[in-house]
Amino acid sequence: MSSARTYVRSLMANWIGHGANMVVMLFLSPFVVHSLGTTAYGVWSLLMTVTGYLGLAEIGVRVSTGRYINYHMARGEQGEVDRVVSTSLVFYTFISALVLAVAAGLGWSFGELFPKVPRQLAVSAVWVLLLTALNVWLGFMASVFGQLLRAKNRFDLRGIVTLTELAVRAGGTVVVLKLGGRLVALAGVLAASSATSFVLFTLLSRWKGAPARFGLRSASWRKFRELISYGSWALVRNVSIRLIGYTDAVVIALLLGMDEVALYSIAMVLADAAGQFVAHVFRVVEPDTMKAGGQHDLALIRWYIIRGTRACLFLAVPVYVGLMTLGHRFIRLWMGTGFAASGWVLAILTVAQLAGTLRWASLIGLDALGFVRLTAVMVVLEAALNLLLSVLFVVAFGWGIYGVAAGTTVPCVFLGMVLTVICVRSRIRLPVRTFLSELVCPAAVAGGLFAVPCLAAGRLVKIDSWASFSLTVAALAAAYLPIGLFVFMRGPERSGMYQRMQLLIGRLARRPLGVQ
């Protein structure tokens, strides 16, 4: 188990990278939308969705690579680590040709597949998809070296790569749009930023990552079958996750139109960004959870599930309740008028994100023990119900994009939670009562208590500028802190934190003025 200082360092690095992404998104998204226009932005969102499916060509090897690097490290099997890395790199080299061929075919037939797309925009799809396919392949290769850093808990170095890639992507986007560039130029910027990430990950992993020697001779057909055996079910799960996360845009494009895709995408971007921010809390202990799986230490995995999920919930409750109640105000300030529908979609999607926070650590624990087939079946059922309900709510009930959001949320909350609780009880031996009392009930209590000041602020405070919005958020954060500490922290944990705060305050008070 890594030290608390390592976890804090990793978490802060992840948050800095995530925060930088959020800042860029907040300032860059309105610029991109207004530079391209709503219709072109909707097409861009659709193209990014289609590209997301190209990522499935890795057939789960990305997930299995990370799992087996940590698994063999925990068992002291360095030769197997070398074979995992080499086999993954060789596989990604060969699969890139297939990715590029499929992208070209999709590009040539894009106008026929999506007849609602304007012809002049559909013509650009060929080059956009080819460039984004290159972006996907570079991401595959970079992920292998990123896993070597991840296995050594060097999230700080991963953060440096993230910030550098972000700077290239954000700066390139501004430049090409200012110069009059359109969708093809934006796709070129994505490929350039991914190339930067690939180079940096390669260099840094050789310096501070888990030791690994890679080459064609180290690649193993036996190891490939092992990776595929685990990864094929990870692929099934990833396909289902894509269906949950990306099919919404396709359903809206086919049934409603491109303007509605843009409205929905704005809400989805915010919901996903909030989810990633919260997930970083457990993501920093994911490598150690995988190592615990390699040693089949059920007690330690249960500890990670409970403590990791409670820490995630401590942050998730204010973030998601705040988005549910004040998200529409944020979108109005961020994107301007005309996006009111995005606020309601965001409120619905954040319910699914909160349910996902309750499940996420449990699914990682199951993966660590090798139950990837089980988690895949769970997500497949959820994805199938998501697609069915989304179409039903749009076609039969006429709920529009709200129906698509509801079709995503309902199966996540009800089906996903029930299956997770059952599987964790049987495979990890975590009792249902413990899951409910330690995780679900505290989340419900904290969310209900914090909703009161949020709703009051929405009704009583005039939020018409970024200054008033920021002051409101700061006041609500201060109001939430005692709620979160009381609900999610036990007595000894609260006492320890209070003592550390008092010690810090005492040190600052004794420090002479001007001394750094």
Q: Is the pLDDT of residue 511 over 60?
A: no
Question: Over the stretch 424-443, which tens digit does the pLDDT of each residue have?
Answer: 999 999 999 999 999 999 99
pLDDT of 478 reads: 93
Please report, as a single letter, which amino acid is at residue 440.
Answer: V
What is the C-alpha separation between 193 and 175, in angstroms, rounded?
14
Count of CB atoms situated within 10 Å of the CB of 381: 15
Local confidence band at 389 (pLDDT 50, 70, 90 cut-offs): very high
Region of 214 please: left (phi>0), alpha (psi -120 to 50) or beta: beta
Instruction: For residues 266-291, give the mean pLDDT.
Output: 83
Length of the chain, please? 516
Instruction: For residues 41-48, give the mean pLDDT.
Output: 78
Share of the chain above pLDDT 70, in %: 93
Question: Over the stretch 58-104, which tens digit does the pLDDT of each residue have?
Answer: 777 888 888 888 888 888 888 888 888 888 888 888 888 888 888 88
Q: What's the CA angle centered on 408, arms 403 and 413, to 5 degrees? A: 120
Q: Is the pLDDT of residue 169 over 80?
A: yes
What is the C-alpha separation between 177 and 36, in angstroms, rounded?
8
What is the C-alpha separation between 146 and 209, in angstroms, rounded?
8
Q: Is the pLDDT of residue 509 over 60?
A: no
Distance of CA 513 to the CA centre of its chain: 43
Q: What's the mean per-residue pLDDT of the chain?
A: 83
Instruction: Tell me if 161 sits within 8 A of 193, measured CB to CB.
Output: no
Cβ neighbors of 6 (< 8 A, separation 6 or more) are 153
Q: Is the pLDDT of residue 276 over 60?
A: yes
What is the C-alpha separation between 269 and 31, in angstroms, rounded?
15
pLDDT of 502 reads: 63
Q: Is the pLDDT of residue 1 over 80?
A: no
The more confidently predicted of residues 39 and 510 is 39
Q: Is the pLDDT of residue 246 over 70?
A: no
Domain extents in the chain? 1-255, 262-446
Local confidence band at 516 (pLDDT 50, 70, 90 cut-offs): very low
- Residue that has been written with the tokens 């697609």 in this structure: 387
Instruction: For residues 13-24, give the mean pLDDT.
Output: 78
Q: Is the pLDDT of residue 2 over 70?
A: no
Share of the chain above pLDDT 90, in %: 18
Q: Is the pLDDT of residue 493 over 70?
A: no
Q: Is the pLDDT of residue 503 over 50?
A: yes
> Which segment of 9-13, 184-188, 271-275, 352-356 scores lowest on mean pLDDT?
9-13
Which among 290, 276, 269 is positioned nearest to 30, based on CA atoms? 269
What is the C-alpha separation between 26 and 270, in angstroms, rounded?
9
> Which segment of 19-33, 153-167, 338-352 scores lowest on mean pLDDT?
19-33
> Which segment of 224-238, 417-431, 474-488 scores lowest on mean pLDDT?
224-238
